Amino acid sequence: MRSTPRLGLVALTRALLPKIIERKGAVINLSSVAATYPYRGGAVYGGSKAFVRQFSLDFAATCTAPASE
């Protein structure tokens, strides 16, 4: 199953990253409490928001890791 919001988030971040680094900018992703608090009928929405949250956390960890890693 393809998910346009998830693919869009990754593709846009990847495409803009060189300019963001060049300008010493930042990446800001918005998610939802649905990423961590399940509710009836929210599996797809919550899963999508959980992806945004985890992608953001992992992306930040990757970008702040020492170059030798």
Annotated catalytic residues are 45
Q: Could you tell me which residues come within 8 angstroms of residue 29 by beta carbon, excluding any fewer than 6 positions away?
A: 9, 52, 53, 55, 56
Distances (CA, A) of 54 to 7, 42, 49, 57: 14, 17, 9, 5
